[in-house]
Amino acid sequence: MDFSEARKTILNVLARTDLHHVPKLINWIKNSDDIDNFMVDNKKTILRSIADNIRDYLPLEAMFPSETMAIQKTQQNPKPTLHVDAFLYEEETVDSLCDEGKMSRNFCLNCGSHRTALIEFISHSFSISELQFLFHHVLPDLMGKLVVDVGSRLGAVLYGGYLYSAAAQLVGVEISKEFVKLQTMIVEKYGFNDRVQVIHADICSQNVLVQNADVLIMNNVFEYFMEPKDQVRAWEFISQSFRKKGALLVTVPSIQEALVSLQETNRASAIDDWLEEVPIDYSAYVQSDTDLDSLKQIHLYRVV
Ligand SMILES: C[S@@+](CC[C@H](N)C(=O)[O-])C[C@H]1O[C@@H](n2cnc3c(N)ncnc32)[C@H](O)[C@@H]1O
């Protein structure tokens, strides 16, 4: 049924409804959880369709060969590690790929034996349920706000923000030309360009944008993609530019963890002059497919 047929059918139903029940029915359409749930599911369907679409353009590991540092860092991990992008591959998709023998959750401890251990999965994107949690439960109403995703990669945060929030503008800044091309294609295809923009740049060149941002999102941006000294420089830039009082910063992992791993302990203990942590109610969102541990990696701060 297309829009005009659906509209006619709804008007028909309203015309056939007992007059004294019409206000109740309209109130149900406007305010009920049934409709809200339908809308949420519909948005999830759009995000899944985008993920389907993007999978066609990328190899299984969802990384471009040009990402030499990220590939090296994944291989150097002490435990066998695989990049499985959580936006592109939900749990059920991973299960079917394992069943088809295209992916494995295990590696063999002694070649040829049945002794196996779990492979560690890392993701360079938020999953669809993390995006829903982020925009519905972590962040406040974003009506009229400017949201900047630092390192927007596949654009998951931009599409999630478009569908799950009323943000006025969602800007992704991505250093990889190939990922910018991919995001631009999706933004145009799905008609998100009235509120979404993708910039090909190093975030450190975007002083004005970062100064004006109401919300800055930093999901594991630098760790796999920059040398430690460049990561320190980038954090320095963020802490100097992102100073709008009351603006919100979302990080994965916590900012302290990111700085301590760079041996920036002094900077980590001095963030109180810049940010205050805002507690997140993780219990507010529990769905069957929710990985609570990954939600707990999400941290929210307010610029003081
Ligand atoms: C872990 S991904 C984050 C993906 C996305 N924000 C999300 O949450 O789904 C990090 C991305 O940051 C990009 N990146 C790393 N350093 C950057 C920098 N200095 N400026 C802009 N992008 C950067 C990388 O190319 C990579 O695509």
Predicted confidence (pLDDT) per residue in 261-299, tens digit: 898 888 888 899 999 999 998 876 655 566 788 899 999
pLDDT tens track for 25-73: 998 887 777 776 776 678 999 999 999 999 999 999 999 999 999 988 8
Contacts (Cβ under 8 Å, ≥6 apart) of 268 = 255, 256, 259, 260
Separation of CA 217 and ligand 1 centre (Å): 10
- Block residue for tokens 């406040």: 140
> What topology does CATH give the domain 128-303?
Rossmann fold (3.40.50)
Dist. CA 163–CA 67, nearest whole Å: 29
Residue 203: CB within 6 Å of ligand 1?
Answer: yes
Nearest to 222 by CA among 124, 78, 90: 124
Mean pLDDT of the chain: 90
The residue among 34 and 228 whose pLDDT is bigger is: 228
- Residue 202 CB less than 6 A away from ligand 1: yes
CA–centroid distance, 123 to ligand 1, in Å, is 12
* C-alpha distance from residue 106 to each of 79, 82, 119 (Å): 12, 11, 5
Tell me the residue length of the chain: 304
- What percentage of residues in the chain have a pLDDT greater than 90? 67
Position in ligand 1 atom list of the atom nearest CA 225: 15
Radius of gyration, alpha carbons of the chain: 22
| The pLDDT of residue 113 | 55
Per-residue pLDDT, averaged over 221-229, amounts to 94
pLDDT higher than threshold 80 for residue 175 = yes
Tell me which amino acid residue 141 is: D
Using alpha carbons only, what angle is made at residue 302 by residues 297 and 304, rounded to the nearest 5 degrees? Answer: 145
